[in-house]
């Protein structure tokens, strides 16, 4: 390993060991106090490397400045601190596998689990790379702590070598991206940039400017509760009504496990409650506004149909906007995208721009007036125990950040 890859690997493993899982059910900001543990760690590291204007905001975002060494636009670089709620993130044990040899990767805490090129084909492209994984019972958290490591490593490089020309740089590390609450309404003003980039992408070369549009939905079912021994003609079981709603939704077309490319979906994420009351939660995704609206209409129509079968129950469906496809705004001015694509070619990579079947903080920032495409980090198989990242891909992402800054002052 080189000095650069050693630093990137050490940063990533240090950050991944901190539990920062967000919680969609929490009303607080950030949604979990544990995210502030990493936030405070990042503040200390920014102070150590000599960054300026370091702030931990009351909405949980860490902000800092790398002062300019040349005239140029002010560019922001962002990554999120939280990890996904979908899989265990407590007790992460990051481990480094140097010089990957092409075989199966096993896990010390879960011997039945293996990571192979058959299950993760991109491994075949990483022969000789240094791979970081977790130990088998947790996700790794490279989403998006790889982005944090890339940005801070590059920031230290710039601060150590003021001969590198670049304009003002603003850094931001946000909480709660995984639950769609990473961009506070105050962030665009506090960030104060001409445009920005999130480091929250996957395979090396990805320069993304199109995401899903997203809504969240909550269905609340109030049944009629009574002792089951006295229930005939009186009880209305909310569990049964919830089951009818799930069964009535499209089962062969609009599920995430059945869709890819530009197909959207209706995804049931949570079902809680009991016979007297149930709550169902969904995420709705589509690349176009019209498709997203249609999925909301389907969900409401199913609720109305099930409600009609049992007027004694109360079924409510609430749909809440989350974020919109950043393409709607970026396609009006593609200069930040084209700059990143050109910078990618500068470092010897062919830029790849494919629609993200998800969203980033860049989706919300772009919608709020800060153009913010998404850049690769190298992370793979995210949100599960097979998550991994190549340290050499992270090094290429750092190269990309430097190349963007060089082009921006030309």
Q: Note the pLDDT tens digit of each residue in 110-135.
A: 999 999 999 999 999 999 999 999 99
Fold topology of 3-211+325-408: Aminopeptidase (3.40.630)
Say if residue 80 carries a ligand binding annotation: yes
Say if residue 200 carries a ligand binding annotation: yes
What is the rounded CA–CA span in Å between residue 303 and residue 307?
A: 6
> Residue 180: its pLDDT value, please?
87
Is the model's pLDDT at 281 over the cut of 90? yes
- Cβ atoms < 10 Å from Cβ of 5: 20
What is the rounded CA–CA span in Å between residue 353 and residue 107?
A: 33
> Which are the contacts of 259, defined by CB distance < 8 A and separation ≥ 6?
253, 265
Sign of CA dihedral 237, 238, 239, 243: positive
> Residue 86: its pLDDT value, please?
87
Least confident of 56-60, 189-193, 247-251: 247-251
> Residue 158: its pLDDT value, please?
98
Which among 370, 28, 388 has a CA at the least distance from the CA of 185?
Answer: 370
> Residue 317: its pLDDT value, please?
98
Say if residue 215 carries a ligand binding annotation: no
Task: Name the percent of the chain lying above pLDDT 90.
Answer: 95
Dig out the tokens for 288 from the structure: 């176009």
> Residue 377: its pLDDT value, please?
98
Mean pLDDT for the stretch of residues 286-290: 95
| Prior bond of 30 cis (ω within 30°) | yes
R_g over Cα of the chain = 23
By 3-state DSSP, what share of the chain in percent is helix, strand and coil, each rounded to 5? 35, 25, 40
> Residue 122: its pLDDT value, please?
94
Q: Note the pLDDT tens digit of each residue in 337-385.
A: 999 999 999 999 999 998 989 888 999 999 999 999 999 999 999 999 9
> Residue 88: its pLDDT value, please?
93
What is the rounded CA–CA span in Å between residue 386 and residue 111?
A: 13
Is the model's pLDDT at 392 over the cut of 80? yes
Residue ranges covered by each domain of the chain: 3-211+325-408, 213-322
Q: What is the band of 1 on the pLDDT scale with cuts at 50, 70, 90? A: confident
Active site residues: 82, 177
Say if residue 143 carries a ligand binding annotation: yes
Say if residue 178 carries a ligand binding annotation: yes
Is the model's pLDDT at 300 over the cut of 80? yes
As its CATH architecture, domain 213-322 has 2-Layer Sandwich (3.30)
Is the model's pLDDT at 311 over the cut of 90? yes
Mean pLDDT for the stretch of residues 55-72: 97
């Amino acid at each position: 390993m080189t000095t650069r890859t050693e630093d990137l690997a050490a940063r990533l493993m240090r950050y991944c060991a901190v539990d920062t899982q967000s919680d969609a059910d929490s009303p607080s900001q950030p949604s979990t106090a544990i995210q502030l543990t990493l936030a405070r760690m990042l503040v200390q590291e920014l102070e150590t490397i000599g960054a300026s204007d370091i702030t931990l905001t009351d909405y949980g975002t860490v902000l800092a400045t790398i002062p300019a060494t040349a005239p140029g636009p002010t560019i922001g670089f962002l990554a999120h601190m939280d990890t996904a709620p979908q899989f265990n993130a407590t007790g992460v044990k990051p481990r480094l596998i140097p010089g990957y040899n092409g075989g199966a990767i096993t896990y010390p805490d879960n011997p039945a689990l293996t990571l192979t090129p058959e299950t993760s084909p991109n491994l075949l492209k990483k022969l000789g790379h240094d791979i970081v994984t977790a130990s088998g019972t947790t996700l790794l958290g490279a989403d998006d702590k790889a982005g944090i490591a890339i940005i801070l490593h590059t920031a230290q490089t710039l601060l150590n070598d003021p001969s590198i020309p670049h304009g003002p740089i603003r850094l931001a590390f946000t909480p709660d991206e995984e639950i769609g609450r990473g961009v506070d309404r105050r962030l665009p003003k506090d960030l104060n940039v001409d445009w920005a980039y999130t480091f929250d992408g996957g395979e090396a070369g990805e320069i993304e400017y199109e995401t899903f549009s997203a809504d969240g939905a909550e269905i609340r079912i109030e049944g009629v509760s009574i002792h089951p021994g006295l229930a005939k003609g009186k009880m209305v079981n909310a569990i049964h009504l919830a089951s009818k709603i799930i069964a009535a939704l499209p089962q062969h077309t609009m599920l995430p496990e059945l869709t890819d490319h530009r197909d959207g979906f209706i995804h049931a994420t949570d079902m809680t409650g009991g016979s007297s009351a149930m709550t169902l939660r969904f995420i709705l995704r589509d690349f176009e506004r019209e498709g997203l609206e249609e999925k909301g209409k389907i969900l409401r129509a199913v609720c109305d149909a099930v409600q009609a079968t049992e007027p004694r129950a109360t079924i409510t469906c609430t749909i809440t906007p989350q974020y919109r496809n950043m393409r709607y705004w970026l396609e009006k001015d593609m200069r930040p995208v084209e700059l990143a694509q050109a910078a990618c070619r500068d470092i010897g990579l062919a830029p790849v721009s494919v629609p993200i079947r998800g969203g980033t903080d860049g989706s919300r920032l772009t919608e709020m007036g800060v153009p913010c495409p998404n850049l690769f980090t190298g992370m793979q198989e995210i949100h599960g125990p097979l998550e991994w990242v190549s340290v050499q891909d992270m090094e290429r992402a750092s190269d990309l950040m430097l190349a963007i800054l060089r082009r921006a002052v030309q």
